[in-house]
Amino acid sequence: MSRERDDLIRTIWNDLYTQSSDLRTCEASISKVFALLRNCFESGGSVFICGNGGSASDAEHIAGELVKPCALSRPVTDDFAAELRLRGDDGYLATHLARGLSITPLVSQAALLTAIANDQGGDLIFAQQVMAYVGPPDILWALSTSGSSRNVVLAARTARAKGAGVVSFTGPVSGPLGELSDEVVATPGSDTPHIQHYHQRVYHAVCLALEAHFYA
């Protein structure tokens, strides 16, 4: 099974670089981000994601790929199915639930986001959530095409102060966000849509590789 899993992960990376050869300049950093996220989950940590605009949509998209099945089935374990039966499950939950990875977008709670913006400041909408939720061995996954989005940078600074890891996706200029990151994937791209296109290609591959590692 381990060999099949490794072959699948290798195929995922090969497909990424075959379809987007200009991302080979980021190959080492992509591999490092994958390893950091993998290690976080293996250590029982959670990943929290933030970004603005299209990157906020990407944050929710990433969660959708990892909390539930993406390309592989992730059946619950026999032990968990037995626990469900002890609590009255007739097989519905055991059949339909899937294992998932603990990943939370920080962009989705309108009441909380507006409360923070109103009471503390709009630039703190992510940092305050990091303050409440994040600590070692968690990771903040920060998305900013410019590498300088203030609310994302403040979240990264807060995460580092709390002892959590930070990985980031930026454009060619990683800016202050890159300086706060354990690893940064600084993709090519001459404008925001172009950079976001590369981000999507990379995070799809990273999500597929994580799913393969844990569930293949």
Share of residues in the chain with pLDDT > 90 (%) = 98
Average pLDDT over residues 15-33: 98
Element housing 11 (H / E): helix 2-19
Which has the closest alpha carbon to 195: 132, 136, 149, 137? Answer: 149
Same domain, 22 and 108: yes
Same domain, 17 and 85: no
For residue 96, the enclosing domain spans 72-101
163: left (phi over 0), alpha (psi -120 to 50) or beta: left
Same domain, 97 and 134: no
Average pLDDT over residues 21-34: 98
Same domain, 84 and 172: no
Q: What pLDDT band is residue 202 in, cutting at 50, 70 and 90?
A: very high
Which has the closest alpha carbon to 59: 209, 180, 207, 175? Answer: 207
Give CA–CA dist 179/50, Å, rounded. Answer: 17
Domain count, the chain: 2
Element housing 60 (H / E): helix 54-66
Same domain, 94 and 145: no
Same domain, 186 and 90: no
Q: Is the pLDDT of residue 2 over 90?
A: no
Q: Is the pLDDT of residue 1 over 60?
A: no
For the chain, give the mean pLDDT.
98
Same domain, 36 and 95: no
Domain end position, chosen among 83, 101, 119: 101
Same domain, 210 and 183: yes
Q: What is the tens place of the pLDDT at every residue in 47-87?
A: 999 999 999 999 999 999 999 999 999 999 999 999 999 99
Q: Is the pLDDT of residue 163 over 70?
A: yes
In this structure, what CATH number is given to the domain that contains residue 41? 3.40.50.10490
Same domain, 79 and 155: no
pTM of this structure = 0.96
Q: Is the pLDDT of residue 130 over 80?
A: yes
Q: Is the pLDDT of residue 126 over 60?
A: yes
Give CA–CA dist 91/203, Å, rounded. Answer: 34
Q: Which two tokens stand for residue 171?
A: 């454009």
Q: Who contacts 170 (Cβ-Cβ below 8 Å, separation ≥6)?
A: 144, 145, 146, 147, 177, 178, 184, 185, 186, 187, 195
Same domain, 137 and 122: yes
Domain end position, chosen among 101, 120, 152: 101
Q: Is the pLDDT of residue 117 over 80?
A: yes
Domain end position, chosen among 101, 116, 150: 101
Same domain, 135 and 42: yes
201: left (phi over 0), alpha (psi -120 to 50) or beta: alpha
Q: Is the pLDDT of residue 145 over 90?
A: yes
Same domain, 186 and 97: no
Average pLDDT over residues 164-183: 99
